[in-house]
Amino acid sequence: MSVLVMKFGGTSVATLDRIRRAAKRVGREIANGHDVIVIVSAMSGKTNELVGWVGETSPLYDAREYDAVVSSGENVTAGLMALTLQEMDIPARSWQGWQVPLKTNGAHGAARIEEIPPDNITARFADGMRVAVVAGFQGISPEGRITTLGRGGSDTTAVAFAAAFDAVRCDIYTDVDGVYTTDPRITSKARKLDKIAFEEMLELASLGAKVLQTRSVELAMRYKVKLRVLSSFDEYDENAGTLVCEEDEIMENNVVAGVAYSRDEAKMTLTRVADRPGIAAAIFGPLAEGGVNVDMIVQNISDAGQTDMTFSCPVDQVPRAEAAMRAARDAGEIDFQDLLADTEVSKVSVVGIGMRSHTGVAAKMFKALRDDNVNIKVITTSEIKISVLIDRKYMELAVQALHDTFELEKAR
């Protein structure tokens, strides 16, 4: 039989009633002739509780024991889901990551999937099992220890299983009914997309959209796994949600598919830096080693052998960035006059594969922001996106203005 992967997020399995509701959806897919692999997250709020317990017990914790504790939330959900399906007379059993086995590297807390041998689960399907309920977010290291994949790791688990089992589709059930042109909480004109290309979804996810975890979209694009995002709270509809697919499956594209934002950004500037070969490596090497997630980078024109270097990062990483730069200066690796941090900025981006073949998108975006008196601090572009840093107090205004300017409320 064909295999379908269904992933249920924390809000979808937050209570026993919601687990029963999710199990009924699984039952419908069994009736449609699929064998089903169900990937489950921990019940809503449970992972945060477990992380809090670890921190309270051991502030400088052993990452291996952290994974052992934090992964337990998914184990509970998997067992409860399997029991619920068995009560519905559906042959099902739960699987922890090590039992599959889902093999990862040894980077505890942020492990990467290396292999999912399908033999164990395939053999059980052949013996009559119809549903394998797999604990998401977890795997096993080369040393035989439990690992976790980082926040949002259950999405990545689901896509990886879909690729390993050549699934017909991977359905991601969450608390929203699909992918929207922007956050509906900011503008009521936001429209749910029926389809979106992998590249567009990857950009939106990386730029702040919370619907899918970035690594899961990367995997889906690499292995051509069809993803469907839909709500576990809506009535059953086989055409519901948003399909994330290859570009050629979308007949017509708007120039811009969506507007994304990241609210809590910071703009950091090193002033009067020596303009010499290797200076960028001397700056961004220590930042990477310090765990700073650098995004936008701008270098000013050199003046008398010196320049300014500006970059953005999440606002909660500013202390790390400051420490890394001061340590690099103390070590004689770089020299600068001052380190300026603007912690009241946000990033707003427009994304669309149609931008490849249309000109004037940047001009249209910048005019819309100018008309609403929004000043742009930093600009970066790629083939299918344009991002700007602006004052945080104008973020919602900018999102609304860009959504209106590109008429995203109209179906493509």
| Full DSSP string of 52-112 | HHHHHH-TT--HHHHHHHHTHHHHHHHHHHHHHHHHTT--EEEE-GGGTT-EE-S-TTS--
| This prediction's pTM | 0.83
Task: Return the bridge partners of 390, or none.
Answer: 346, 376
59 falls in which pLDDT band (50, 70, 90)? confident
Q: How far apart are CA 253 and CA 326, in angstroms?
A: 47
Average pLDDT over residues 206-222: 84
Average pLDDT over residues 111-122: 96
Average pLDDT over residues 385-404: 96
What per-residue confidence (pLDDT) applies to 256?
A: 92
What per-residue confidence (pLDDT) applies to 234?
A: 81
Average pLDDT over residues 108-116: 95
Share of the chain above pLDDT 90, in %: 81
Q: How far apart are CA 245 and CA 200, in angstroms?
A: 10
232 falls in which pLDDT band (50, 70, 90)? confident
Give me the amino acid identity at 344.
E
What per-residue confidence (pLDDT) applies to 251?
A: 66
Q: With beta carbons less than 8 A apart as the criterion, state whether 282 and 276 touch.
A: no
Average pLDDT, the chain: 93
Sequence-ordered list of residues with C-beta below 8 angstroms from that of 299, at least 6 positions apart, any chain: 280, 307, 308, 309, 310
Range of weakest confidence among 56-60, 94-98, 108-112, 408-412: 408-412
Q: Is the model's pLDDT at 412 over the cut of 70?
A: no
Q: With beta carbons less than 8 A apart as the criterion, state whether 247 and 353 touch.
A: yes
Q: With beta carbons less than 8 A apart as the criterion, state whether 88 and 81 touch.
A: no
**Distances, alpha carbon 318 to alpha carbons 179, 265, 326, 392, in Å:** 31, 9, 12, 16
Interval 325-351: pLDDT, tens? 999 999 999 999 999 999 999 999 999
Range of weakest confidence among 179-183, 233-237, 342-346: 233-237
β 146-148/306-314 pair status? unpaired
Place of tokens 């992380």: 51
Q: Is the model's pLDDT at 42 over the cut of 70?
A: yes
> Whose CA is closest to 229, among 245, 238, 241?
241
> Whose CA is closest to 309, among 334, 327, 292?
334
Q: Extract the tokens encoding 217.
A: 């979209």
